Structure 1
Amino acid sequence: MKKANIVVIGGGTGLSVLLRGLKTFPVDISAIVTVADDGGSSGRLRKELKIPPPGDVRNVLVALAEVEPLVEKLFQHRFENGSGLSGHSLGNLLLAGMTSITGDFARGVQEISRVLNVKGKVFPAANEEIVLHAELADGSFVEGESRIPLAGQQIKRVFLEPSNPEPLQETIYALENADLIVLGPGSLYTSIIPNLLVPQISQVIKNSKAWKVYICNVMTQPGETDEFTAGDHVQAIYNHVDNLHLNSIIVNKQTIPFSYGQRYAEEGATVVSVDEERLQKMGLEIVGDDLLYFDNYYLRHDALKLSQRLVSML
């Protein structure tokens, strides 16, 4: 029996958390990962070597890897000393090295996938260096993914430079053959929307007969989605991609413990309220559930529960 194809689109920690759960199910996974990051180790490698930033791709590879925990730890190891090495993660350096050997970032990702015995396929959204820009509410502009949330203003829109980067043919093929296309979870303007700004990617998603679902963030993100409701998140996606229609939205229904809420409030984040009536008017099926897992400090989506929800939509 043919396995169902699930394509997950995003970046950041949210995508990695979801994929750890999804890889335990008998489905074919393709992950399309943002390459707009310009901070930290990724930003430095991008600047010095003129390659797409490897950080988000690295986290996704590790999430889908079938290797010993020690190998995973090694791949994620971050150097703390050494003037040139300090701050770099070993996985980023290996991806940069493999790009140099193969002469191509996407090919480098494929080769590292084999080394890590990755369950599924990982595709960078573009195979070239792209820069994310934002136009803010007051008409001013910010350049660079890491600087956008620090501007302290509402984001009017984000856009890419160059505006028409080429996706990989494998990415297009994965989307054309998808049974389920998943957006998120992750930073709305800096992890999810940048993938949709690659024109060929958004076009194929719009044409696809696959069921399309958005996993809404549980908390707002300071500098990005302040005071956003679930409907605001969806509207922001629609504002960037004309004629895109999502079928479902997955939202958390679990009560957040006071201590966690307080901690987030100190950082300027609040719970994303679910404006059900508006979502229904948008034609969305609302899938609500207790979806949280609490680590020592932050809320995370429960990877297995979330994955079960997605697989049940097939």
Structure 2
Amino acid sequence: MNSAVLLRRAALVGILGIILFFTGLALSYRLLLLPVITAFDNAFTNLLGSFLNAADLPVGRHYAGGALLILGGYLVYRAIRNVLREVMRILNPGQEGKIAGNFWKQQALAAGPSIVAIGGGTGLSTLLRGLKEKTSRITAVVTVTDDGGSSGRLVADKKILPPGDIRNCLVALADAEKSMTDLFQHRFEGASGSLSGHSTGNLLIAALVDLTGDFDKAVREVGRVLAIRGRVIPATLDPVCLKAEMEDGTEIYGETKIVNSQQRIRRIFLEPPDTGPVPKALDAIRGADVVVIGPGSIYTSVIPPLLVPGVAEALNESPAIKVYVCNVMTQPGESDRFSASDHVRAIESNVGRRVFDYVLINKAMPGQFLSERYSESGQEFVAPDPDRIRAMGLKPISANLISETDVVRHDPMRIAESIERLVK
């Protein structure tokens, strides 16, 4: 039950309580309260009579009563505010001065659209940073095929699902203090022994899996610690590996080996192919207002969760607005020389069916310096070709989606605003 419903219920209970209170007051007024009020009125009238003549006494009583009402109301307000501030200080240190602002912001976010975001890697976490400013009704369905770095080591050593992409999504949705999110993203480097390369967040998730015996429960616990706006769900809770069929017919197993091969990918598969979906992820897709797929590495982040049995079917059944956010730059070995329509074609050919209706395309060119630097590493701007996308029976939406610093990437707020306009 969301907070808006709970507040309405609390308000109705409060109104009923006030009615009962004043009904009881009226019933006992003559017997218990009238003598007390009469005595107080006489004492107060005698006090005012010391300063006012008889003609001015009624007016004086009126002004004095009004002043006491205002003073009493102000004292009640101050008392309630101080109690709430102290509760806020205890529950959320550092936020005690923002009670009203936080309250109304949370109510506005809770009234936002229900959005499911599907993908992985940095693309999904970038998307979530923007979406959480528009709604708190977010479900991130995250790929779990990463087998490199800290995640790969934990998969091998602890036999758990890779926590890296999950961690990034949790941090992206976090409403906790920056120091807390920085702690989760801290990576041990240099002379850290066996900890070298591990991030604190990955280790914490692994520790919680040990404590709870359940990866999904461990993710929920971390979400509570970080006070995330929404929830993060693995695409599957089964151990799964990526298998790629390359253009030359060879097969490569494992995400890291696939990416490092630098060969052109023909098709991507899950191994085993009959991995089980997470029921609440399917329910979220079916009940969503909007489903956003991508952005991210087309073969290793975007397509894998769509291959989990039941996910594509749930997308077809869902009445939600379904939109694919296309990448802004190509990736060597995955999407060399891909245009926007090539990305769409890769998804549809691998999934075997249409799973979205809209394609959000970046139309802004990056600056010359960054374009040249990316070109040196074999990457180029993803050419927007809305006419080809339209010819495929889809609805292209072109917008300036990039943020340029030392890299070219999606701007979280620009994506979120484009999706918000689509909903409205």
Q: TM-score, normalised by structure 1?
A: 0.97
* Aligned match of 1:247: 357
Deviation of 1:153 after TM superposition, in Å, equals 1.6
Deviates more, 1:76-85 or 1:51-60: 76-85
Deviation of 1:27 after TM superposition, in Å, equals 4.8
Deviation of 1:275 after TM superposition, in Å, equals 2.0
Matched, 1:78 2:170: no
Summarize deviations over 1:9-44 as a string: whole Å, max 9, x none: 011111111111110113511000110000000000
Summarize deviations over 1:255-284 as a string: whole Å, max 9, x none: 210011011111100111122221011111
Matches within 5 A, 1:92-131: 92-131=202-241
Q: Contact 1:33–1:56 at 8 Å: present in 2 too?
A: yes
* Aligned match of 2:416: 307
Deviation of 1:286 after TM superposition, in Å, equals 1.2
* Aligned match of 1:190: 300
* Structure 2 counterpart SS, 1:287: strand
* Aligned match of 2:335: 225
Cα distance in 1 for residues equivalent to 2:387 and 2:219: 43
* Alignment CA distance shift 1:62-1:27 (3 Å): closer
Residue ranges of structure 1 left out of the alignment (5+ in a row): none
Summarize deviations over 1:34-71 as a string: whole Å, max 9, x none: 10000000000001111110000000000001111111
Matches within 5 A, 1:41-56: 41-56=150-165
Deviation of 1:160 after TM superposition, in Å, equals 0.8
* Alignment CA distance shift 1:82-1:26 (3 Å): closer
Deviation of 1:229 after TM superposition, in Å, equals 1.0
Deviates more, 1:239-248 or 1:152-161: 239-248
Matches within 5 A, 1:1-314: 3-80=112-189, 81-295=191-405, 297-314=406-423
Deviation of 1:154 after TM superposition, in Å, equals 1.2
Q: TM-score, normalised by structure 2?
A: 0.72
Summarize deviations over 1:222-248 as a string: whole Å, max 9, x none: 010001111110011111122324211
Cα distance in 2 for residues equivalent to 1:17 and 1:92: 19
Cα distance in 2 for residues equivalent to 1:62 and 1:222: 28
* Structure 2 counterpart SS, 1:232: helix
Which is strand-richer, 1 or 2?
1
Deviation of 1:162 after TM superposition, in Å, equals 1.4
Residue ranges of structure 2 left out of the alignment (5+ in a row): 5-110
* Corresponding residue pairs, total: 313
Which is helix-richer, 1 or 2?
2
Q: Contact 2:216–2:233 at 8 Å: present in 1 too?
A: yes
RMSD: 1.2
When Rg is computed on C-alpha atoms for both structures, the one with the higher figure is: 2
Opposite residue 86 of structure 1, the aligned amino acid is S
Cα distance in 2 for residues equivalent to 1:207 and 1:22: 23
% same residue? 47
* Structure 2 counterpart SS, 1:213: strand
Deviates more, 1:2-11 or 1:61-70: 2-11
Opposite residue 297 of structure 2, the aligned amino acid is S
